[in-house]
Amino acid sequence: MHRTFGQMSRRDLLTMIGATAGGAALYQAMTTLGHAQESTYRGPIALDGDPQGAKVLILGAGLAGMVAAMELRAAGYTVEVLEYREKAGGRCWTLRGGDSYTELGGFTQNVQYEKGNYFNPGPWRIPHHHHAVLDYCKRLGVKLEPFIQKNHNAYLHRQEAFDGKPQRFREIATDYRGQTSELLAKATNQGRLDELVTQEDKEMLLESLRVYGVLDENYAYVKSERTSDYRGYAKWPGGGLDGIPEPSEPIAPSKIIQSELWRWLDEAETVEHQATMFQPVGGMDMIAQAFEREVKDVIRYNTKVTSIMQDENGVTVSFEDTREGGGVQEAKGDWCICTIPFSILSQIENNLSGAMKGVIDTMYYAGSVKFGLEFNRRFWEEDENIFGGISYTDLPISLISYPSNDYFSGGKGVLLGGYSWGAIAYQFNSMPPDERVRIALEYGARIHPQYKDEFSNGVSVVWHRVPWVLGCYGIWQDKESQYRTAAAIDGRTVMAGEHISYLPGWQEGAILSSLDAISRLHDRVING
């Protein structure tokens, strides 16, 4: 008996959809079948009931802390925020010309970018379905613009492929799609899918492969004007007597497969990276600045928390003023919302429960490195017609992301000259900033030779050397057993931040975590 699509299991169906139609179609199918959900945000939080002047201490003025401060104060709470840095935002951070940043080890980088240029060491893009971030941007007047994740004119690069020469994304993507469609069409015509599809489905599948893979009437992927409409032309269409286009020659299937450049073709297909993505105009910390304008009067800056002690009546937080000095001081509250990363909190004296301490002490933080490189001109636009998007490489820099703003502006431009994780990031951790930038330039020049002549200045940030977080984002040792403990109200203290979410490393996770924490805390205050 032939197995029809209607008889397939959900898993089989999703596998086929993903293989033939790509990640976007797969995610849509998963949502329909109940396997994937968008952000849980459903609009502004409503905290009903009178807290009767209860005071909440909030530790940390990142997005989670400022959301809590803004919403709790609006609900009638007295709020005080203690922030380690001289400004708010946490990992929502942007570096501009004139800024100075000192990392662990005492290395100071003085940013020399031209006015208007910037670099986001932390978050740099906002997915279209991160509803909480987008709603707060709308409410707080943060202007957004498109972030270009996928650019068919950007590059794919491996040191061992094509003699190290970068290849245009569109050429690899089109040829790989066409050649795999041809193979599947041949297998279908040879009856190798008869156990999976009916005759009617077989005919429709072949037609879909012909259209999707740009195949000819014989289901072959060959050099033609049709394939060149996707992969580009050897001689592009023009005007006048010499305007006749010349089709381009597809790359041989074996060469495509052996190149392994196909590994990056689905980078923009995961739901967090599908178009449309956004970025704040002027830098990611435009979001932090907007929140800060709302709650700046309740934030105490330059405060290094040294202990957190709670009893049945409230919470006492000891801290030092890192700018003014004056010894240990105290802040008291009825309740505490702690957004301090566990990498830092594990070093702070506290009397939280043993279970909570066990979770805090076992969480480690991902390592990451980013490079913000400024060049004397936007050569990627002027020479190579790359406007936004990302080129991928197997070099230690991992990628190059081109600015999604100020196209055709002339003058200097900043691109993300690398963004790497794990073992690679650990290697960069051991280097001083100028050495890290030098290496990023050396690697980037293998993709863009203009690097050597056009470089102006650069900044690098390795997140394990960032004093206020000591890592990029929290990683659970055993999320299944530890997560509920970390999220639960512990005495009079509740945790919030990206690490208390299923969206680690994303601003959406920090905001959703904060809204959940303050909602449960408010319920405890009102209902006991």
**Are residues 358 and 484 both part of a single domain?**
yes
Tokens of 91: 């990992």
Give the largest Cα separation in the chain, rounded: 88
Residue indicated by tokens 């919403």: 71
Residue indicated by tokens 């005759």: 199
Residue indicated by tokens 């932090």: 288
**Are residues 382 and 400 both part of a single domain?**
yes
The string of pLDDT tens digits covering residues 203-229 is 999 999 999 999 999 999 999 999 999
Tokens of 70: 């803004």
Report yes or no on 387 lying in a domain.
yes
Report yes or no on 44 lying in a domain.
no
Which residues make beta-bridge pairs with 108?
A: 102
The string of pLDDT tens digits covering residues 340-356 is 999 999 999 999 999 99
Tokens of 67: 């959301």
Residue indicated by tokens 């000095």: 325
Report yes or no on 157 lying in a domain.
no
Which residues make beta-bridge pairs with 338?
A: 59, 495
Stretch 93-121: mean pLDDT? 97
Report yes or no on 99 lying in a domain.
yes
Q: What type of residue sits at position 190?
A: Q
Report yes or no on 283 lying in a domain.
no
Q: Which domain holds residue 32?
A: 1-37
Rg of the chain, C-alpha, whole Å? 27
**Are residues 228 and 376 both part of a single domain?**
no
**Are residues 341 and 415 both part of a single domain?**
no
Residue 25 has pLDDT above 60, yes or no: no
User: What is the rounded CA–CA span in Å between residue 501 and residue 366?
Assistant: 15
Helix (H) or strand (E) holding 391, with range, is strand 390-393
**Are residues 395 and 447 both part of a single domain?**
yes
The string of pLDDT tens digits covering residues 291-331 is 999 999 999 999 999 999 999 999 999 999 999 988 999 99
Residue 401 has pLDDT above 80, yes or no: yes
pTM for the predicted model, two decimal places:
0.90
Residue 274 has pLDDT above 50, yes or no: yes
Give the pLDDT of residue 42: 84
Report yes or no on 132 lying in a domain.
no
Q: How many helices (H) and strands (E) does the chain have?
A: 17, 26
**Are residues 354 and 498 both part of a single domain?**
yes
Tokens of 438: 């030098």
Classified as helix, coil or strand, 35 is coil
**Are residues 372 and 512 both part of a single domain?**
no
**Are residues 173 and 259 both part of a single domain?**
yes
- At 492, phi and psi to the nearest 5? -120, 20
Kindly indicate the confidence band of residue 391, based on its pLDDT and cuts at 50, 70 and 90: very high
The beta strands (E) that lie in 11-141 are given as 55-59, 78-82, 95-96, 100-102, 108-110, 118-119
**Are residues 346 and 495 both part of a single domain?**
yes
Give the pLDDT of residue 6: 37
Report yes or no on 484 lying in a domain.
yes
Q: What is the CATH number of the domain that holds 338?
A: 3.50.50.60
**Are residues 500 and 456 both part of a single domain?**
no
Q: What is the CATH number of the domain that holds 448?
A: 3.90.660.10
Give the pLDDT of residue 326: 84
Classified as helix, coil or strand, 384 is coil
**Are residues 191 and 243 both part of a single domain?**
yes
Count the domains in the chain.
Answer: 4
The string of pLDDT tens digits covering residues 444-462 is 999 999 999 999 999 999 9
The string of pLDDT tens digits covering residues 48-78 is 999 999 999 999 999 999 999 999 999 999 9
Report yes or no on 260 lying in a domain.
yes
